[in-house]
């Protein structure tokens, strides 16, 4: 499965009021493993960068003045993300900005429901906790010391690591092929009825004699119809 972890930087936060994209960064994953392929572009927004946004990403109007406009990078960008599932933190923000740009260039919009929102994933997994990218890096022990300013490509690289942790950690990249299963003693079936591996030798009990006697005394106190007697292999006394 091919996925693209994506981030953007913008002139501000209000795409409906004219704010534009100024940077795009993408990281390619295959079966949740980074391939090393990336896409990165700075974009001349033809719109002033808000001072508050500049404080976050440090991309000035002067720096962006000689960069290509979005229409000139759209084709290469769309080629890179083609046929891939997008993975974005706070997806609605980036998708709204991208779709506003696509509306200007005449390209088809991105369908938000087809995008994996890592912020939504994090909120489900860690309800009530801070789920910003920096907070998730701290939670999962991911080095984000290079992130002195927001940058689309760097943030995409960091988000790729966070995403892998959110969906189960590094083990998701292991080779779980048919050949691997064929070498094991476990029978694999699809659906909920997959059988479990049968132990060839029962596990040894870790109960002490004192714990066992205390439990038996507890069960005896429940009376002759206690369900525990069934588990112990004893017949219940008819009432």
DSSP string, 70-111: HHHHHHHHHHHHTT-EEEETTHHHHHHHHHHHHHHHTPPPPP
Q: Among 82, 71, 1, 10, which Cα is nearest to 39's?
A: 82
User: Which range of residues forms the domain containing residue 107?
Assistant: 2-173
Tokens representing 43? 């974009």
| Residues with catalytic function | 150
Q: Which H helix or E strand runs over 229?
A: helix 228-231
DSSP, collapsed to helix, strand or coil, labels residue 22 as: strand
Report the distance separating Cα 6 and Cα 157, nearest Å. Answer: 9
Residue 101 lies in a domain: yes
Residue 102 lies in a domain: yes
Q: How many domains is the chain partitioned into structurally?
A: 1
User: For position 95, which CATH number holds?
Assistant: 3.30.420.10
| pLDDT for 231 | 53
Percentage of the chain modeled with pLDDT above 70: 77
Categorize the per-residue pLDDT at 175 as very low, low, confident or very high, splitting at 50, 70 and 90. Answer: very low
Report the DSSP beta bridge partners of residue 88: 117
Residue 182 lies in a domain: no
Categorize the per-residue pLDDT at 212 as very low, low, confident or very high, splitting at 50, 70 and 90. Answer: confident
Residue 80 lies in a domain: yes
Q: Across the chain, what does the average pLDDT equal?
A: 83
**Model confidence pTM above 0.75:** no
DSSP, collapsed to helix, strand or coil, labels residue 239 as: coil
């Amino acid at each position: 499965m091919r996925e693209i972890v994506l981030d953007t930087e913008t002139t501000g936060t209000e795409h409906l009021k004219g704010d534009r994209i100024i940077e795009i960064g993408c990281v390619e994953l295959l079966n949740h493993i980074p391939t090393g392929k990336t896409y990165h572009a700075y974009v001349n927004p033809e719109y002033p960068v808000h001072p508050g946004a500049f404080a976050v990403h440090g991309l000035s109007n002067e720096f962006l003045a000689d960069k290509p406009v979005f229409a000139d990078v759209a084709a290469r960008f769309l080629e890179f993300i083609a046929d891939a599932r997008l993975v974005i933190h706070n997806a609605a923000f980036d998708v709204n900005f991208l779709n506003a740009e696509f509306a200007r260039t005449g390209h088809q919009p991105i369908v938000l429901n087809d995008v994996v929102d890592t912020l939504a994933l994090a909120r489900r997994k860690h309800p009530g906790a801070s789920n910003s990218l920096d907070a998730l890096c701290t939670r999962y022990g991911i080095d984000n010391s290079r992130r002195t300013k927001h940058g689309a490509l760097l943030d995409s690289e960091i988000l790729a690591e966070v995403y892998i942790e959110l969906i189960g950690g590094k083990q998701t990249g292991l080779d779980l092929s048919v050949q691997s299963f064929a070498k094991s003693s476990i029978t694999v079936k699809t659906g909920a009825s997959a059988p479990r591996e049968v132990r060839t030798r029962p596990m040894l009990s870790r109960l002490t004699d004192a714990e066992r006697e205390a439990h038996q005394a507890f069960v005896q106190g429940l009376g002759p119809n206690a369900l525990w007697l069934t588990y112990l292999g004893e017949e219940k006394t008819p009432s």
